[in-house]
Amino acid sequence: MDDLQNHLKKTMERMSRRLAREAEQQRELEHERRLAAIRAQSHALVWTGTPDDLIAILTEWYRSGRIVAESLEDALQKASIHFLNPDGTLVILPSLKVSATPESPSSKTSEGSKTGGSERTKKQDLSRYLDTAGLTDKQYQCASLRWEYGLSVSAIARELKLSRMTIDQHIKTAQKKFNTSGMYEKIRKKLSRTASED
């Protein structure tokens, strides 16, 4: 009888944790939908100064409390999508907050990044989609390595020293965020066009 009660108790705890995770994912998805709707209605500002000038101003605003963010890097990354050069390119290129180790990419560049001592170049540049999707740093990094560089989940897990399940979860969450904003279909079409050209 005690075994049955313990089993039922453990089952209920597992179900409760799963429901809490699903509720959290639903809240995150709804939040991303609201952000996507706001982004769809907003327009970027055209910046005619230098990137350093913009960074200096945003840094001053962050330090004075006019911009609220978790860190200065977070403030710069979030602001980066709102400021464009007159030619339509981003003034500030968002960067990954990861340490620049030989095993991990230190920035999002279309020219490639040094990883594991060998030069790696992007097979597909999706940075304009990734930069505006509202991804966390790890989601961005995993999605970039998977979709832009064409690495397998196992290779990304080895490179980032994370479990395959964690990498898979980051990629799935990134895909959900793209799905809510309609960007994943654009990326899928772009990837399939590139694959057919090869």
What confidence tens digit (pLDDT) does each residue in 137-166 have?
888 889 888 888 888 999 898 888 889 999
pLDDT at 43: 64
Does 70 lie in the same domain as 99? Answer: no
Q: Can you give the residue range of the structural domain that contains 27?
A: 1-42
pTM listed for this prediction: 0.39
Are residues 100 and 75 part of one domain?
A: no
Same domain assignment for residues 55 and 120? no
CA dihedral 41, 82, 109, 177 (to 10 degrees): -40
Per the structure, the count of domains in the chain is 3
105 in the same domain as 57 = no
Q: What is the pLDDT of residues 44-60, one digit of tens each?
A: 678 888 888 888 888 88
pLDDT at 112 over 50: no
**In a 3-state reduction of DSSP, which class is residue 86?**
coil
- Based on the domain organization, do 28 and 108 belong to the same domain? no
pLDDT of residue 16: 92
Task: Give yes or no: residues 86 and 147 share one domain.
Answer: no
pLDDT band, very low/low/confident/very high, at 32 (cuts 50, 70, 90):
confident
What is the pLDDT at residue 39? 58
Both 102 and 184 in one domain: the answer is yes
